[in-house]
Amino acid sequence: MKPTNQINIGIVGCGYWGPNLIRNFRSVPGCHVKLACDNDQKRLAYISQLYPEVKSTTDYEALVNDKEIDAICVATPVWTHFELAKKSLKAGKHTFVEKPMASNVLQCRELVDLADHNRLILMTGHTFIYSAPVRRIKDIVTCGDIGDILYISSQRMNLGLFQKDINTAWDLAPHDISIILYIMGAQVNSVNCQGEAHINPGVEDVTNMSLTFSNKGFATIQNSWLDPNKVRRMTFVGSKRMILYDDNEPLEKIKIYDKRVEVPPHYDTFAEFHYAYHYGDMYAPYLKQVEPLKVQCEHFLDCISTGRDPNSSGRDGLHVVEVLEAASESLKRGGAKVEISEIVQEQTTNDLKITDTKIARAN
Ligand SMILES: NC(=O)c1ccc[n+]([C@@H]2O[C@H](COP(=O)([O-])OP(=O)(O)OC[C@H]3O[C@@H](n4cnc5c(N)ncnc54)[C@H](O)[C@@H]3O)[C@@H](O)[C@H]2O)c1
């Protein structure tokens, strides 16, 4: 018998990332990781060796049909997310899906609708939203300390790990996009993306994306699996101050620069124009180090208990996939601008076509 208030979790996907989720869920009081599922017996043997109390299965149906399980976490490759999450939601389980939430906008919408209809929590693994530096940047921006955000630039690069089913944008950019959407607090209007596949034909290992926003904000994202160094760097340029966030820094992850450019009302000489540059102090606030993944796991459990909407909800997952899909479309068009409304429109039209075909077949 399950104790009252205990939340039982099942997890599907025990490859590289799944064990991190198991470790963190296990550490939260009131949470019991009951069952782990993977197609690969070797991965299940590894989990059993680490956590003997966690039962294991290769049969996802056993997980979905386990009446004692309240929530399922999906940590499998992206192309499998939709089917696994859909089955979980249909079985009445709260569902956590790793990033990116699904392979396209249509699938994300279906998951969001299903969760709404069944009154279930649907959360996506935008881990950095739960990290101390990003939380602090959000606070600084919200209280108006850096002024209006003019632009954000992000670089997330390293050597590998090469994926076969998704390009570097779908692999790495969900982190950049989710942070940017969280901080910018505005909707993306359009996306341009260019990239090249140097190693695996058809799978871009280097991509450069730019986003325009409804509030006139602008962002650029550079992702690569072909870089000698691991780079995790973001710059937030405000009208009053600027923030540099380097996730590789062990202690001073964010630095706030009191720097800005003030265009004078008029100037007669180039020397006078220089006075418009403001150079002030830099400070690096103290940030308490807590594993973001632990905060994320606690938040999922809290949302299940209280019914509150997660900070990285299914809708947030959908918005990230809208940007990724627009980026893929732009890549196909050689970097041309793709409006988000086109993606949404295209999906709706395809949706209608599919529905028409179904109706025609039924007739
Ligand atoms: N939030 C983060 O910071 C973060 C970091 C890394 C990975 N991820 C995400 O986690 C997910 C998994 O990535 P990974 O690197 O662990 O991949 P992986 O390939 O290392 O592991 C995936 C596992 O899923 C299993 N699997 C595949 N299909 C299955 C199915 N239908 N049923 C049961 N098991 C199945 C595989 O056997 C494998 O063990 C991806 O969505 C990835 O984007 C998130």
Predicted confidence (pLDDT) per residue in 194-248, tens digit: 999 999 999 999 999 999 999 999 999 999 999 999 999 999 999 999 999 999 9
Ligand 1 centre to CA of 189 (Å) is 31
Distance between start and end Cα atoms, the chain: 50
In one-letter notation, the amino acid at residue 63 is L
The strands making up 188-196's β-sheet, listed across from edge to edge, are 277-283, 254-261, 242-246, 226-238, 149-159, 218-224, 206-213, 188-196, 338-339
Which ligand 1 atom sits closest to the C-alpha of 74?
11
Pick from 3, 70, 40, 73: nearest CA to 297:
73
Residue 362 pLDDT grade (very low, low, confident, very high; cuts 50, 70, 90): very low
Ligand 1 centre to CA of 225 (Å) is 18
Pick from 24, 36, 320: nearest CA to 182:
320
β-pairing verdict for 218-224 and 149-159:
parallel
**Pocket mutation for ligand 1, best pick of 46, 98, 294 (most atoms within 8 Å of C-beta):** 98
Query: Average of pLDDT values for 9-20?
Result: 98
Q: List the Cα angle 128/133/135 in 5-degree steps.
A: 70
Lining ligand 1 with CB less than 6 A are: 12-18, 37-40, 43, 60, 75-78, 80, 98-99, 125, 127
Q: Whose CA is nearest to atom 31 of ligand 1?
A: 80
Ligand 1 centre to CA of 19 (Å) is 10
Q: Determine whether 105 is exposed, middle or buried from the number of CB atoms within 10 Å of its CB (0-12, 13-18, 19+).
A: buried
**Pocket mutation for ligand 1, best pick of 24, 38, 74 (most atoms within 8 Å of C-beta):** 38
As a whole number of angstroms, the distance between CA 65 and CA 58 comes to 13
What is the structure's pLDDT at 1? 65
Which ligand 1 atom sits closest to the C-alpha of 83?
31
Q: List the Cα angle 344/348/353 in 5-degree steps.
A: 150
Query: Average of pLDDT values for 52-66?
Result: 97
Residue 277 pLDDT grade (very low, low, confident, very high; cuts 50, 70, 90): confident
What is the structure's pLDDT at 354? 42
Q: Whose CA is nearest to atom 43 of ligand 1?
A: 99
Query: Average of pLDDT values for 42-60?
Result: 97
Which ligand 1 atom sits closest to the C-alpha of 37?
33
More confident position, 161 or 347: 161
Q: Is the peptide bond before 161 cis (omega within 30 degrees of 0)?
A: yes
140-192 pLDDT, tens digit per residue, is: 999 999 999 999 999 999 998 998 889 999 999 999 999 999 999 999 999 99
As a whole number of angstroms, the distance between CA 205 and CA 226 comes to 7
Which ligand 1 atom sits closest to the C-alpha of 161?
15
Over the chain, what is the mean pLDDT?
A: 93
Query: Average of pLDDT values for 344-349?
Result: 64
What is the structure's pLDDT at 274? 65
What is the structure's pLDDT at 348? 60
Ligand 1 centre to CA of 9 (Å) is 17
- For the entire predicted model, the pTM comes to 0.93
Cα–Cα distance list, 238 to 116, 141, 301 (Å): 37, 9, 35
